[in-house]
Amino acid sequence: MRVGVITFPGTLDDRDAARAVVAGGCEAVSLWHADADLKNVDAVILPGGFSYGDYLRCGAISRFAPVMQSVIEAAGKGMPVLGICNGFQVLCESHLLPGALTRNSDLHFLCRDQEIEIVNNSTPWTSSYKAGEKIVIPLKNGEGSFQCDDKTLAELEGEGRVIARYVGQNPNGSRNLIAGITNAHGNVVGLMPHPEHAIDELTGPSAAGLGFFTSILNAMVK
C-alpha cells in the first residue's frame, strides 16, 4: 500500500509524515509539488509547514502547484487524502474541503499538546479510533481557526462531517471547536493538529496519533 507525502517549498513535516506512514504499515512515497505524477500511490498526505512561505494566504499558492491538479482529480475519484495543518489549509483553498482557516483568535502562534475527540471514525483516516475517543497530539499553528458560514456549518454538523473537535477551552476560535472535517464523500480529511508528531512516546506526547496511519492501511486492505 503506497501513501504519497507531498513536499512543497516550505513544507516542514513531510519527513515525520513519511515516518508515520511507515510506522502505520504502509510504504511512504515522496511526491514533489512541481511534478504532477502521483506515482501510483493509493492515498496522499499533505503535510504541515509553511508552503510558499504562507504568502498571500496559507495554502493559496500551493493550490495551483502541478501536483495539486492531480490530487484534486484523484480525490474526485475517491482517493483518500489527508491534509494536516498547512495541508488542511491547502485542501480548503483547493475547495476539496469547505470553509477556511484564519488567524488564531488570540493572534498567538500556538505550539502545545492538545486533547481532541475523534467524533467520526467512519473515514479511511479515522477508522482505528473509537467514536468519542480522546487523544492528545501536538497543535502548532498560527492560522488554525476554522471558519465557515452558518449554512456550511449546519451541513457539516448535520451530515456528521466534523471528524475531530478540541476538548476543553477553544484554542483558536474555531467554530464549534472544529479540529478536523471531511468532505461529503468521506475520503478527504483535513486536521489542524498533528498526529504524525505523536506516533512514539519518546518524541511525542503520546503514540495516539498513529491511529490515522493504521486507519489508512486498514482502509486500503479492505
Partner 1 sequence: MAKIVVDVMLKPEILDPQGNAVASALSRLGFSFAKSVRQGKRFEIEVEGEPTAAQLAEVEKAAEVLLSNPVIENYVVRVEK
60 binds partner 1 (CB under 8 A): yes
Cell numbers linked to 178:
472544529
Report how far residue 217's alpha carbon sits from residue 222's, in angstroms, rounded to the nearest whole number: 9
Place of cell 456528521: 160
Contact between 184 and partner 1 (CB under 8 A)?
A: no
Active-site entry in 58, 85, 92, 148: 85
Rounded CA gap, 105 and 66, in Å? 33
| Catalytic option among 26, 58, 196, 197 | 196
Nearer to partner 1, 109 or 203 (CB): 109
58 among known catalytic residues: no
Rule CB under 8 A: say whether 57 interacts with partner 1: yes
Residue 159 annotated among the catalytic residues of the structure: no
Set 117, 148, 194, 197: catalytic member: 194
Distances (CA, A) of 63 to 19, 98, 112, 200: 24, 14, 28, 31
Nearest to 9 by CA among 74, 80, 86: 86
Least distance in angstroms from the C-beta of 207 to partner 1: 34
**Count of Cβ atoms closer than 10 Å to residue 212 Cβ:** 33
Active site residue 196: yes
The residue type found at 163 is I
Is 157 one of the binding residues for partner 1 (CB under 8 A)?
no
* Residue keyed to cell 516550505: 10
Of 137-156, binders to partner 1 (CB under 8 A) are 145, 147-149
Residue 102 Cα to chain centre, angstroms? 16
173 near partner 1, judged by CB under 8 A: yes
Q: Which stretch binds partner 1 (CB under 8 A): 33-41, 91-99, 159-167, 213-221?
A: 91-99
Which residues are tagged catalytic? 85, 194, 196
Binding site for partner 1 (CB under 8 A): 56-57, 60, 64, 92-93, 98-100, 102-107, 145, 147-149, 173
